[in-house]
């Protein structure tokens, strides 16, 4: 990390254990949260709106439930009745929905306090916003969940909600050195989220570490997802090659480090080979996403085209050429691929790949390449970015654990194993 680093993620589990049912503890936490946002967000630019101090304090005091009083930030593509929701676009400047998105309602019911909204790329596409990476403010935090990842990495909030349609949770988590979890498609509700592609849009969660994000997922889903005791001896499948793009030497070195740590911790690694159908999914994702986005953003494209970024306007112009027959063919291929998915997990607990082709790129003119994420989004698989590794250029670089659809508990458990193994290996290196 360089001298411009604001990296300071905090554990939500530690905060919950510390404040317990203590109203004064909640007050202190909320005051600390608001102070941290005020102190660092002028440099990071993660927040689009912050709750008024009096409202946040009152909500924390009245909260009850497993997340009672815990401050959480929400990506600005989810509706919030009490905070402006602009979807990253000037078209919706100062827009105030009359209701909350379903995921926001779930959080409030569990006692969380919505402390603010976070920057998103325009309509959760790829036009880069001005948010900076807390690990190095000269780099992008990734996208489209730029603000959510940056807010957690900078220690503004212990948890944040994002989304993923291509790679918008796993990639920013990798770039910012935190845990990111993309659940199985449909595990968490997307009602009240600005739709980009209804076949792929998935709620994503960010936290300091895997155990933190697993606990939040359990609370929101009412499923047994928390990691209480890590299962010994998982088996990870590491692909021989990738049909989309090869990882950089930097990312390959990080993956090799993770593999050695896994084996030292008692896990096993075996090589797997992707079938030819995996290559076809790259184009299928692109086709399906384009066709659906042209419809989902039809109002904005038809009536407010001049207010769209050139990147998104050009994308939608090209998307208009995709006809229903091409879309249907791509969906058939997607269905066939899902039927073939089980073969990838034969004899393995989960797959292990780089989370991104490299560390975060320098500059703010790109959110990075989602190549290592898109196929898993199309297939509906649960994915977890495991933090703890640093690349040759001094930035975080994550590895991705991928599970079978609806086997999120095993995926999170395996990711926690990898995180613990990496931490143990890092401790041994420091000791020598």
**What would the mean pLDDT of 22-31 be, rounded to a whole number?**
94
Q: What pLDDT score was predicted for residue 292?
A: 99
- Number of domains the chain contains: 1
User: Considering the domain boundaries, does residue 147 fall inside one?
Assistant: yes
pTM of the model: 0.98
The predicted-structure confidence for 127-163, as pLDDT tens digits, reads as follows 999 999 999 999 999 999 999 999 999 999 999 999 9
Q: What pLDDT score was predicted for residue 223?
A: 98
Q: What pLDDT score was predicted for residue 1?
A: 53
The average confidence (pLDDT) of the chain is 96
Q: Residue 430: exposed, middle, or buried by beta-carbon count in 10 A (0-12, 13-18, 19+)? A: exposed
User: Considering the domain boundaries, does residue 87 fall inside one?
Assistant: yes
For residue 4, what pLDDT band results from cuts at 50, 70 and 90?
low
Residue 287 contacts residue 326 (beta carbons within 8 Å) = yes
Helices (H), 225-323: 249-264, 276-296, 298-303, 310-319
What does the H/E/C string look like for the chain?
CCCCCCCCCCCHHHHHHHHCCCHHHHHHHHHHHHHHHHHHHHHHCCEEEECCHHHHHHHHHHCCCCCCCCEEEEECCECCCCCCCCCCCHHHCCCCCCCCCHHHHHHHHCCCEEEEEECCCHHHCCCCCCCCECCECCECCCCCCHHHHHHHHCCCCCEEEEEECCCCCHHHHHHHCCEEEECCCCCCCCCCECCCCCCCCEEEEEECCHHHHHHHHHHHHCCCCCCCCCCCCCEEEEECCCCCCCCCHHHHHHHHHHHHHHHHCCCEEEEECCCHHHHHHHHHHHHHHHHHHHHHCHHHHHHCHHHCCHHHHHHHHHHCCCCHHHHHHHHHHHHHHHHHHHHHHCCCCEEEEECCCCCCCEECCCCCCCCCCHHHHHHCCCEEEECCCECCCCCECCEEEECCCCCHHHHHHHHHHHHHHHHHHHHHHHHC
Give the whole-angstrom CA distance, residue 149 versus residue 132. Answer: 10
Q: What pLDDT score was predicted for residue 349?
A: 98
Q: Is residue 428 pLDDT above 90, yes or no?
A: no
Q: What pLDDT score was predicted for residue 401?
A: 98
**What would the mean pLDDT of 52-80 be, rounded to a whole number?**
97
Q: Is residue 290 pLDDT above 70, yes or no?
A: yes
Q: What pLDDT score was predicted for residue 175?
A: 98
Share of the chain above pLDDT 70, in %: 99
Contacts of 82 (CB under 8 A, 6+ apart): 51, 55, 114
**47 in helix, strand or coil?**
strand
Q: Which domain holds residue 105?
A: 12-221
User: Considering the domain boundaries, does residue 106 fall inside one?
Assistant: yes
Query: In CATH, what number is assigned to the domain containing residue 188?
Result: 3.90.1300.10
Q: Is residue 429 pLDDT above 90, yes or no?
A: no
Q: What pLDDT score was predicted for residue 207?
A: 98
The predicted-structure confidence for 119-134, as pLDDT tens digits, reads as follows 999 999 999 999 999 9
The predicted-structure confidence for 174-215, as pLDDT tens digits, reads as follows 999 999 999 999 999 999 999 999 999 999 999 999 999 999
For residue 2, what pLDDT band results from cuts at 50, 70 and 90?
low
Q: What pLDDT score was predicted for residue 301?
A: 98
User: Considering the domain boundaries, does residue 309 fall inside one?
Assistant: no
For residue 270, what pLDDT band results from cuts at 50, 70 and 90?
very high
Q: Is residue 415 pLDDT above 60, yes or no?
A: yes
**56 in helix, strand or coil?**
helix
Q: Is residue 20 pLDDT above 90, yes or no?
A: no
User: Considering the domain boundaries, does residue 36 fall inside one?
Assistant: yes
User: Considering the domain boundaries, does residue 418 fall inside one?
Assistant: no
User: Considering the domain boundaries, does residue 314 fall inside one?
Assistant: no
User: Considering the domain boundaries, does residue 296 fall inside one?
Assistant: no
């Amino acid at each position: 990390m360089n001298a411009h680093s604001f990296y300071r993620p905090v554990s939500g589990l530690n905060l919950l254990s510390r404040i317990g049912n203590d109203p004064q503890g909640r007050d202190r936490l909320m005051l600390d949260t608001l102070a941290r946002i005020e102190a660092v967000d002028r440099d990071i630019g993660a927040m689009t709106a912050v709750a008024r101090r009096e409202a946040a304090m009152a909500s924390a005091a009245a909260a009850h439930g497993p997340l009672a009083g815990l401050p959480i930030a929400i990506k600005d593509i989810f509706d919030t009745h009490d905070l402006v929701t602009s979807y990253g676009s000037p078209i919706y400047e100062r827009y105030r929905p009359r209701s909350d998105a379903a995921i926001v309602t779930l959080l409030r019911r569990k006692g969380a306090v919505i402390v603010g909204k976070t920057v998103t790329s325009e309509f959760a596409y790829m036009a880069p916003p001005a948010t900076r990476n807390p690990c190095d403010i000269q780099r992008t935090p990734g996208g489209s969940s730029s603000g959510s990842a940056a807010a957690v990495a900078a220690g503004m909030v212990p948890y944040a909600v994002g989304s993923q349609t291509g790679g918008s949770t796993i990639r920013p988590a990798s770039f910012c050195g935190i845990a990111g979890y993309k659940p199985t498609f449909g595990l968490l509700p997307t009602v009240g989220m600005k739709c980009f592609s209804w076949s792929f849009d998935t709620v994503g969660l960010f936290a300091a570490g895997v155990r933190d994000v697993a606990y939040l997922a359990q609370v929101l889903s009412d499923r047994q997802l928390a990691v209480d005791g890590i299962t010994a001896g998982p088996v990870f499948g590491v692909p021989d090659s990738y049909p989309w793009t090869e990882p950089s030497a930097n990312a390959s070195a990080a993956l090799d480090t993770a593999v050695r740590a896994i084996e030292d911790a008692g896990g096993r690694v075996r090589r797997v080979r992707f079938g030819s159908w995996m290559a076809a999914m790259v184009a299928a994702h692109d086709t399906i996403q384009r066709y659906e986005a042209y419809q989902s953003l039809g109002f904005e494209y038809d009536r407010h085209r001049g207010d769209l970024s050139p990147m998104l306007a050009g994308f939608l112009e090209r998307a208009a050429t995709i006809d229903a027959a091409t879309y249907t063919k791509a969906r058939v291929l997607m269905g066939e691929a899902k039927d073939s998915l089980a073969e990838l997990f034969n004899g393995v607990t989960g797959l292990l790949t780089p989370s991104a082709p490299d560390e975060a790129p320098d500059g703010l003119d790109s959110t990075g390449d989602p190549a290592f994420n898109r196929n898993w989004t199309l297939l509906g698989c649960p994915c977890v970015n495991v933090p703890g590794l640093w690349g040759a250029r001094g930035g975080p670089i994550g590895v991705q654990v991928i599970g079978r659809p609806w086997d999120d508990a095993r995926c999170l458990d395996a990711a926690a194993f990898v995180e613990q193994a990496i931490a143990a290996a890092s401790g041994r290196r420091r000791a020598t």
